[in-house]
Amino acid sequence: MSASETAVASTKPKMMWYDQVWLALPFGLIILGGLIGGAIGGGAWAVNRVVFEKTATPVLRYVFTGLITGAAYLFWLVLAVILVMLLNQNQ
């Protein structure tokens, strides 16, 4: 890491605990969906983190990351329904 990268990283304000909890909401998919839910939740968490850091307006940070989290849960639900339908099709 170069000196300029270190300076930029150290000037970023630390996220508050409630911001970190908000960003981690997609990890609830681990409880619901196991490995598949964890993979979807981990991806949504990574996207949430980038969006949260890049968005300047505080209200939009929560709106965008909330939509991403909701989309992750919806994607998991659709994927789970499709998998159940495919597994029950053979019976």
Answer yes or no: pTM beyond 0.85: no
Q: In which residue are the tokens 């998998």 written?
A: 83
Q: Which one is predicted more confidently, 25 or 2? A: 25
Average pLDDT, the chain: 86
User: In percent, how much of the chain has pLDDT > 70?
Assistant: 87
